[in-house]
Amino acid sequence: MPRMTARSRTEKHRASTPLELFFDLCFVVAVAQAGGRLVHALAEGHPGTGIAGYLAVFFGIWWAWVNFSWFASAYDTDDTLYRLVTFVQITGVLIFAAGVPRAFDDGDWTLGVIGYVVMRLALTSQWLRVVHCSEGAERRVAQRYAIGITLAQLGWIGMLFVPADMNGTRTAVYVALALCELSVPAVAERDRRTSWHPHHIGERYGLFTIIVLGETIAAATVAVQESVDEHDALGELLPVAAGGLLIVFAAWWIYFAVPIHNYLRGSRQAFIWGYGHYVIFGSAAAIGAGIEVAVEGATGKAHVSTEAASAAVTVPSAVFLLTVWLLHARHFKRDVAEQLALPLAAVAILACTFAGEYAVLAAGLVASATVAAGEVLSRRPVPGGPVSTSVPPSHA
């Protein structure tokens, strides 16, 4: 059996593996469950509890995916044991997904925590394998990861014994445990970083973004189909469907406007960029949920106002654009005009909330115009500006 030793950060042709892609696709099940519960809460007029539940559930999905992806970037041996442990992690996410409705509707996290612990302890076994196969500073990093993850899982199990209605105590415990989870990599890698591969990490995040956007399109398509079959309201749904499609297309274009691996050189940039994708992934998935709410609003199924149904689309769309700009798009802008494109687009999309039944279509047109503006701005010469030949001209 091969030793689990660190892979080179400069390895050529480092690409995502079929196992990683399979892992991502299984995670979409959990994303779909979280989005479905968010749709129900928003359509019933409970945005506060719906958004809070969605953020809590999505944290578990996102954080388990993040830890697997960064570990695999540094230590993927693709041998029999590694594959089997990854299958255990996949089993954990499916258990977690099955527990999403209970966590959302009843505050019962039992099944969700069981699935989460299965995922995380399987990853701990991978870190213990690194401990066994390494020495010195690398061994200490692996030990810290194994200890930190294990302690966090004991905390999640302990949370189950806190009553759900105990004056917000469980919520406080959840937040504290989430912060503990987020601190594990920083503590573990305080004197030596793992050998994650910048190009591989950039590709992994990009592929998961594609999968989440694909789930958004799938969920919206099913919602439109069901509404047409039940209400024969194709005319009312066309603006929502067209606008939603334009938003998703623009989201893809804007996210992939520039390659990010050249930016991911140090741990500080990587931590901020990687952690920030909680918002990017969460808002991308929420766009699909919002489109479903807008469809239900157009057919009279949603128990909310037109503005509230529209906001379910425009708010996550604006958050997505703003976060993509903040995390990496802004690092490739050449002047003020390019820098302002995405922030102004986010504001304009929010304003579309009040465009009545054409709000989603208006937001889609704004998103499309933003892509077009980015293409025009990136191709014009800027006096004294840098001329780059290493990135494509698109700077939406």
Mean pLDDT, rounded, for 19-25: 93
| 376 C-beta neighbours (distance < 10 Å), count | 12
Mean pLDDT, rounded, for 69-76: 93
Cβ atoms of 310 and 259 closer than 8 Å? no
Q: Structure pTM?
A: 0.89
DSSP string, 346-393: HHHHHHGGGSGGGHHHHHHHHHHHHHHHHHHHHHS--TT----SSS-S
Which two structure tokens, joined as six digits, stand for 92? Answer: 């954990």
Q: Write down the pLDDT at residue 347.
A: 97
pLDDT per position as a tens digit, 213-222: 988 888 888 8
Kindly report the CA angle at 60 between 14 and 175, in degrees rounded to 5? 125
> Does residue 255 register a pLDDT over 90?
yes
Collapsing DSSP states into helix, strand and coil, what is residue 198? helix
CA 278 to chain CA mean position, Å: 5
Q: Which of 250, 246, 228 is nearest to 237 (CA)?
A: 228
pLDDT per position as a tens digit, 276-301: 999 999 999 999 999 999 988 888 88
Q: Sketch out the chain's domains with CATH numbers.
A: 18-188 (no CATH), 198-379 (1.20.1410)
Cβ atoms of 395 and 329 closer than 8 Å? yes
Instruction: Place 387 in a pLDDT band, splitting at 50, 70 and 90.
Output: very low
The number of CA neighbours under 13 Å toward the Cβ of 87 is 7
pLDDT per position as a tens digit, 318-357: 999 999 999 887 877 778 888 899 999 999 999 999 999 8
